[in-house]
Structure 1
Amino acid sequence: MNRRRFCGGLLVSSLGATWAVRADEPRRVTDMAGRSVTLPRLPGRIVLLEARDILCMAMLHPDPASLVVGWAAVDRIDSPQVQASFERGGPMPVVGQQTPETLSVEGILALSPDLVVASSYMVPQGSDALLARLSALGIPVVFSEVASNAVPSAPVGPVENLHRQVRMWGDVLGAREQATAFSAFADAHLAEVAKRLKGAAPVTTYLEVQSTLDDCCWVAGTQVWGELLTLAGGTTLPAVTAPWFQKLQLEYLVRTPHDVYIASGGGWSAGRRPAIGPGIPAAEGRDGLERLVARTGFASLPSVRRHRVHGIWTGLITSPPFNVLFVEIAAKWLHPERLRDLDPAATLAELNRRFLAVPIEGPLWVSIQE
């Protein structure tokens, strides 16, 4: 037994009262695809086909890494610091990269999982071979995400999506009380933002979902990123019709009025993205934003001329438990007069104190002018 597994066993044993279910008690879980899945026991050997799911687990479990025996799409955590914090017991076995065809079925099976957590991106609809093989071996599969840029998701909205995902993970991990507490926390913070924004006109915003020096211009779609922008009192650009993201021509961006530009950055630097994320100094993020607005044509954007340029860590959008932080900070940028005294940094501190097994170190957002 390795150190991660041993420590995880101690934590589950010492905090058993928190889970409110016996480890050997079967439970039914409704996953994000609406599938009802029976888990014969509390899982102890989980393979994540989207490694960033460990961030949601960390909101509900004191040592999520003790339960994860392998993962895929590790780069989508988008933070070397966060990844390392979950690998203190040693490197996590990798069963795939960023796309479905890289998944290794043999690699998954070699880890003897008692649960595989998938997404509709890594296991697309119609890809029955993997599910059939796992099912034949008695290995349950739950889906943690079903959104797609090709197929619009059910119109549940980001808040209900968050609650469903947290509830699913609460059932998987036997942490329903913690899941309920987190949902209440999210509702309270989102309600405060909504109260302050009541009656405010939406602010047209260029929310860039893939900010790099060598490509332009990927804008937030009508769902997911765009819906969260709406909660923050904004609206995406009028030509956008795709659910997740859409590539626009620079000429359109230049001639389309918008008030605020929010770029996305992270801990990996492919395409020379701005360095924004856990533990990265704010000065590095600002330097990255300066390079972005130096791209051809960007000096003409109304948002850039008014110096209303900001950047976020992608995890604030791609990991639903962090969506509350995105809504708060974006609302401050879009409506500074209404949310001047709102403190997203205090919200991050509360998340770290009350929920996160592995605290997340800021800054997770930055502005070109502080």
Structure 2
Amino acid sequence: MRALSLSSACLLGLALFAQAAGAEITLTDITERRVTLPAPAQRIVLGDARHIIELAMLDDDPAARLVGWRADKGLDPARLAAFSAAFPAISDIATVGAGNRQLSVEQTIALDPDLVVLSLVDAEDPQMDVPLSQLEAAGIAVIFVDFFSHPIENTPRSLDILAKAIGAEARAAEINAYYTAHLNVVRDRLADHMPEAPSVFVQVHATPDSCCATVGAGVFHDFITAAGGHNLGEDIVPGLMGTVGLENLIALDPDVFLATGGAHLRARGGLVLGAGVSETEAADSFAALLATPGIAELSAVESASATGIWHLFNDSPLHVALIEHLAQRFHPALFADLTPEATMAQMQARFLPVSVPGVWWIDAQ
């Protein structure tokens, strides 16, 4: 279970007392919109169900505030089971949309929320213009946060935004201090030593029969860059995501091959990593991927410079542990002292109400 420092607990108590006295909350969201709430939000609809993780970092009982969520970006099964066991009220959360990021305005309004939390992806999606205008006409406050598109740039600020909306600024400050301190160790050491960046290719949602979805600028690109690597996808993929053919990947012949996976790929015979995954299943699925014709012949695979990573690092502050691990893989001598496994364990134990064991990354041997 997480534990707040005494000073943070006192600050949180003072903040809650002030807001209980009726103080209005005005905040600026990730898109620079100014939003005013009459009081801390008590009835929240999440545009992305998996953002219950961030809410749980800030609130001892996140399910008590959630009345609805859009389910197409939900928790993986093991974490959903753990959260549901800890917070049975999760079963009462209404679904207000799923698939292709559709949001049912009618269902949302019927839930009488005092806040709808959407992502930067929604803010940049033209299909959301009408739903947003309808929510505004209904007098429902909407804020945008971003833990996905530009995660390193926007995660601390998004935590602050969400925290201010519910009156948990002290808790956000503690999380952000931990996050920034760990990130700065990597940043500062890279800046001091200026090592050559290895070329890196990342196959997202990796399966042996489909090569290769990858990322351009943003998401995993940000993690690769922060760890001192050069994402080849940025050179050839416009936007956040795109596809590179196997023959093109072979021609690129990256120094490091990364692959993302999760429980959602189990049925497709893909890379399985994450919460509730055993080391045996992770190792077997990674070996099958690396044995794929074409991928098996990459220099990075032949030299054991290949790593599998949990895909859902892409929408969570937990990604700072991944950055530490990638920094060790890219520059082993420079970052030999880092302990990314401990960082992952500490973040779950200190900042989340439940800790779920799993396999978060796996390296070729």
In the alignment, the residues of structure 2 paired with residue 106 and residue 163 of structure 1 have an alpha-carbon distance, to the nearest angstrom, of: 32
Q: Is the deviation greater in 236-245 or in 338-347?
A: 236-245
Task: Write the letter of the residue equivalent to 1:167.
Answer: D
In the alignment, the residues of structure 2 paired with residue 119 and residue 353 of structure 1 have an alpha-carbon distance, to the nearest angstrom, of: 26
Aligned equivalent of 1:98: 99
Give the 3 Å change call, closer, same or farther, for CA 141–354 of structure 1 in structure 2. same
Task: Write the letter of the residue equivalent to 1:187.
Answer: T
In the alignment, the residues of structure 2 paired with residue 349 and residue 146 of structure 1 have an alpha-carbon distance, to the nearest angstrom, of: 20
In the alignment, the residues of structure 1 paired with residue 292 and residue 56 of structure 2 have an alpha-carbon distance, to the nearest angstrom, of: 38
Q: CA deviation at 1:214?
A: 3.2
Counterpart check, 1:307 vs 2:304:
yes
Task: Write the letter of the residue equivalent to 1:192.
Answer: V
Q: Is the 8 A contact 2:313 2:319 kept in 1?
A: yes
Q: Is the 8 A contact 1:81 1:278 kept in 2?
A: yes
Aligned equivalent of 2:169: 176
Aligned equivalent of 2:140: 139
Q: Given the alignment, which residue of 205, 223, 226 partners 1:228?
A: 223
Structure 2 counterparts to residues 204-243 of structure 1, below 5 A: 204-237=199-232, 239-243=235-239
Aligned equivalent of 2:49: 51
Q: Given the alignment, which residue of 170, 195, 200 partners 1:200?
A: 195
Q: Is the deviation greater in 304-313 or in 119-128?
A: 119-128
Q: CA deviation at 1:273?
A: 2.7
Displaced runs of 4 or more, over 6 A: none
SS at match of 2:362: strand
CA RMSD of aligned residues (A): 2.3
In the alignment, the residues of structure 1 paired with residue 333 and residue 199 of structure 2 have an alpha-carbon distance, to the nearest angstrom, of: 16
Q: Is the deviation greater in 116-125 or in 193-202?
A: 116-125
Q: Given the alignment, which residue of 315, 318, 323 partners 1:318?
A: 315
Q: Is the 8 A contact 1:32 1:143 kept in 2?
A: yes
Higher normalized helix content (fraction of residues): 2
Q: CA deviation at 1:352?
A: 2.3
Aligned equivalent of 2:78: 81
Task: Write the letter of the residue equivalent to 1:63.
Answer: D
Aligned equivalent of 1:130: 131
Counterpart check, 1:72 vs 2:67:
no
Percent sequence identity over matched residues? 35
Give the 3 Å change call, closer, same or farther, for CA 291–20 of structure 1 in structure 2. farther
Aligned equivalent of 2:32: 34
State the TM-score, normalized to the length of structure 1: 0.86
Counterpart check, 1:291 vs 2:292:
no
Aligned equivalent of 1:330: 326
Q: Is the deviation greater in 224-233 or in 262-271?
A: 262-271
Q: CA deviation at 1:306?
A: 0.9
Q: Is the 8 A contact 2:212 2:243 kept in 1?
A: yes
Aligned equivalent of 1:5: none
In the alignment, the residues of structure 2 paired with residue 268 and residue 75 of structure 1 have an alpha-carbon distance, to the nearest angstrom, of: 12
Q: Is the 8 A contact 2:47 2:69 kept in 1?
A: yes
Count of aligned pairs between the two proteins: 345
Q: Is the deviation greater in 298-307 or in 129-138?
A: 129-138
In the alignment, the residues of structure 2 paired with residue 56 and residue 251 of structure 1 have an alpha-carbon distance, to the nearest angstrom, of: 40
Q: Deviations over 1:145-170 (max 9, x none)?
A: 3976xxxxxxxx64331221111112
Aligned equivalent of 2:178: 185
Task: Write the letter of the residue equivalent to 2:170.
Answer: E
Q: Is the 8 A contact 1:316 1:323 kept in 2?
A: yes
Give the 3 Å change call, closer, same or farther, for CA 126–159 of structure 1 in structure 2. same
Aligned equivalent of 2:111: 111
Q: CA deviation at 1:201?
A: 0.9
Q: Deviations over 1:283-326 (max 9, x none)?
A: 2111111121222311111111112221111222222x122112
